[in-house]
Amino acid sequence: MDFDFDKGEILLVDKPYKWTSFDVVNLARNYIRKQLGIKKIKIGHTGTLDPLASGLLILCTGRMTKRIEEFKEFDKEYTGTFVLGATTASFDLEKEIDCHYPWEHITKEEILAAMANLTGSYDQLPPVYSAKKIKGKRAYDYARKDQEVIMQPKRITISAFEVQEINLPQVHFRVSCSKGTYIRALARDLGVALNTGAHLSALCRTRIGPYHLRDAYNIEDLKSALKEE
């Protein structure tokens, strides 16, 4: 494949679990620099994916970086797993479980009804452990120092929220949503709707707008493609 990184390229990458989005950008930048034999290359991603999530990350290079804000407006799709009956401060596995709740009484019908009620537009409260900026600092900077921070709700849209499999206390799901949606917060909201607790235990981003994970490079394939170039 022929790349023109200066003119601009879009690279679809399957971000590995526990890698940061910057780790992927940094790897691509270093390989492209080596390939082009230059010191600087414009490159950035179109939306952060949490280290504890895997899946589609879009990288833009060269003149295509001007489209990053446009790409951020795209809706997104995820698959993942919620665990009912337990909560964490971060709503995922970044923090340890802090409280347990009964879940054995919950039925499939109740789960489906709760998910249906969370489909559509509503004001979602972002997690305190998030990159939201509060007075010039990231919310997680306050949270990790045990400083109080007040988060403001944001209007989001869940266009599809479906069960893929239920193995209580695990609920495997697929969700399509607008930009700015926190799937970790959706776990919390589902727990509240079911009168229990819940947290996110696994997450994979499968689509960003018209771009799909099935078309993405894994890290080793990306390295090979850039080396061949």
Catalytic residues: 50
> Which of 192, 191, 166, 187 has its CA nearest to residue 177?
187
3-state helix, strand, coil in the chain (%, to 5): 30, 35, 35
The DSSP secondary-structure symbol of 119 reads: S
The answer to whether 85 and 102 have CB atoms below 8 angstroms apart is yes
Find all residues with CB under 8 Å of 186, minimum gap 6, and list them: 118, 124, 158, 161, 175, 177, 200
The answer to whether 41 and 61 have CB atoms below 8 angstroms apart is yes
For residue 2, the tally of other CB atoms under 10 A from its CB is: 5
CA distance 109 to 142: 39
* Partners of residue 208 on adjacent β-strands: 76, 211
CA distance 83 to 73: 29
